């Protein structure tokens, strides 16, 4: 048994050669603003205990009328930006259950994050967050001016300097 395909007639209307191209409505081509074009999404994983600590820190800073970081995503962006600009990592990552979330970042931060080693991104990010949290906590806990109640180092009692070879 042999199968034969039917032959179809192709009737195609060709436009005249001097006809103008069809018009596209202006509303169909919406321009993309720079703010929307430069936003990229990254998915991150970090410790659930760290998540709770960060949420509590942000909540307590909002209670104290400090809105430096409006949300956890802004804190993570600031931590990544600090690491991008040379922050030295001092804290270690921990073992435990991880939480996965995604956030939107601008293009240069997205490219920086994608340039990190793919298998180490979660560990690096957790270390970045812990270090940034430690620096943030240390920065808000220290006074802006040195303590004036104690004499400066190298001075004796009453603020008078002692000679280097003086015996006590």
Q: How far apart are CA 94 and CA 96, in angstroms?
A: 6
124: closest CA among 42, 69, 46, 52?
46
Please report the pLDDT score of residue 96 as a whole number: 87
Per-residue pLDDT of the chain (168 residues; tens, 9 = 90+): 666 666 666 566 665 666 665 554 444 444 444 555 457 999 988 889 999 999 999 999 999 998 899 999 999 999 999 999 989 988 887 888 999 999 999 999 999 999 999 899 989 999 999 999 999 888 743 333 434 444 444 444 554 545 555 554
Please report the pLDDT score of residue 3 as a whole number: 64
Please report the pLDDT score of residue 91 as a whole number: 86
pTM above 0.75, yes or no: no
Total length of the chain: 168
Continuous H helices in the chain: 34-37, 48-63, 72-84, 107-115, 121-141
3-class secondary-structure state, position 68: coil
């Amino acid at each position: 048994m042999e199968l034969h395909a039917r032959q179809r007639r192709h009737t195609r209307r060709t436009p005249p050669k001097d006809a103008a191209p069809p018009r596209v409505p202006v509303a169909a081509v919406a321009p993309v603003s720079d703010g929307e074009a430069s936003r990229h999404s990254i998915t991150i994983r970090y410790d659930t205990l760290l998540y709770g600590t960060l949420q509590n820190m942000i909540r307590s800073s909002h209670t104290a009328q400090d809105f430096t970081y409006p949300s956890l995503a802004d804190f993570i962006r600031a931590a990544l930006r600090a690491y991008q600009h040379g922050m030295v990592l001092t804290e270690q990552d921990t073992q435990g259950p991880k939480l996965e979330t995604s956030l939107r970042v601008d293009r240069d931060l997205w490219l920086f994050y994608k340039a990190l080693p793919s298998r180490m991104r979660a560990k690096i990010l957790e270390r970045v967050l812990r270090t940034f949290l430690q620096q943030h906590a240390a920065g808000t806990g220290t006074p802006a001016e040195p303590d004036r109640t104690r004499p400066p180092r190298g001075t004796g009692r009453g603020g008078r300097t002692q000679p280097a070879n003086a015996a006590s």
